Amino acid sequence: MKRRYYPNNWKQYKDSEDKFFKPIAYNEFMSWKIDGWELPNSVTCIIRSEDKHGKIKEHSYQTQGHATRKIEQLVKERQNFVICDNDSISDMRQPT
């Protein structure tokens, strides 16, 4: 089954004039975007995993049970991964 392509509008943002963007201090931006992330209500958590070839895959889950099964699989396969939910971001590096 081929995955659907979700187009984005990066070119429109890139080509926009500066006057359309409100200036913001670096610390304010970091506080807003890094410290204040929010997941949509339909997403329980997001997991980003790295395989042995360094390829990154992102998995999003609506239920905790499905996410738990994915985490168990990644640990069994000794893959590095990051878990993001509404409360925290956890880096789960496997011992070498």
Tell me the two tokens of residue 11.
């070119």
Judge whether residue 96 has pLDDT over 70: no
| Look-up of token digits 């409360």 | 87
Q: Computed from CA positions of residues 54, 56, 57, 61, in that sequence, does the dihedral angle turn out positive or negative?
A: positive
Judge whether residue 69 has pLDDT over 90: yes
Average pLDDT over residues 82-92: 90
List the alpha helices (DSSP H) in the chain.
Answer: 10-15, 26-33, 64-76
CA distance 37 to 16: 25
Average pLDDT over residues 55-68: 94
Question: Mean pLDDT over all residues of the chain?
Answer: 88
Question: Whole-prediction pTM value?
Answer: 0.64
